[in-house]
Amino acid sequence: MMFFYATLLIGIAGLITLLRLILGPSVPDRVVALDTMNTLVVAAMVLLGAAYERAIYIDIAIVYALLSYVGTLIIAKYLQGGLS
Amino acid sequence: MIADYLIMAFLGISVVFNLLGSIALHRFPDVYTRLHGATKCTTFGTMFAVFAVIVHSVVRLKETGNPKYLQMAIHSFVAMFALLMTNPVGAHAIAKAAHLSGYMPKRAVVDAYMKRREENEC
């Protein structure tokens, strides 16, 4: 039961981060907010895997962490001038 | 019994640091300070969430002897390791990209990276 409450509070943190993603005055601000949200989603996924006692959710968290890293690197490469 | 309190303490640390990381996005003035607040706080918070899951699954493994819980502990450790290796690299890439694309730090007294870039260009 404790894991559900912790997931709920991490979801609230994700909503606060989503506010910065929408409001963000510049593009790098939005990228920082997206990177933070990816980490929060990984934390919520691991906690949900423990709450429902399904190990497959944690595998999804591993794949999500690696793919979000690749996405962040590609966006940063695009920001600093071209994907060449 | 002790494990319950340990899980509660780890989950409390995790939730507090994740909330602080997301509030830091609103309280800091520019990209670099926001990166400083958000990245470190959320990495630390996720580490402690994984520690809570590991303690929970080790306790359940001792109670039931089901190998599913051993798999859960090992895989959550792998998730933490992947996050720990990749998150700082991503933050450095964002900071470098923001500096190269022209977003300067506000109210900065010393900008050593700008100085190095000018020396390399001249």
Domain regions of chain B by residue span: 1-121
Higher pLDDT, A60 or B118: A60
C-alpha closest to that of A61 among B71, B105, B78: B78
Mean residue pLDDT of chain B comes to 90
Nearest CA in chain A to B72: A55
Least confident stretch, A76-80, B43-47, B107-111: B107-111
* Interatomic CA distance for residues B21 and B36, integer angstroms: 9
Residues 58-117 of B with CB under 8 A from A: 60, 68, 71-72, 75-76, 78-79, 82-83, 86-87, 89-91, 93-94, 96-98, 100-101, 103
A10 contacts in chain B (CB < 8 Å): 14-15, 18, 49
Q: How confident is the model at residue B118 (pLDDT cuts 50, 70, 90)?
A: confident
Q: What is the pLDDT of residue A57?
A: 92
B102 contacts in chain A (CB < 8 Å): none
* Count of the separate structural domains present in chain A: 1
pLDDT at A11 over 70: yes
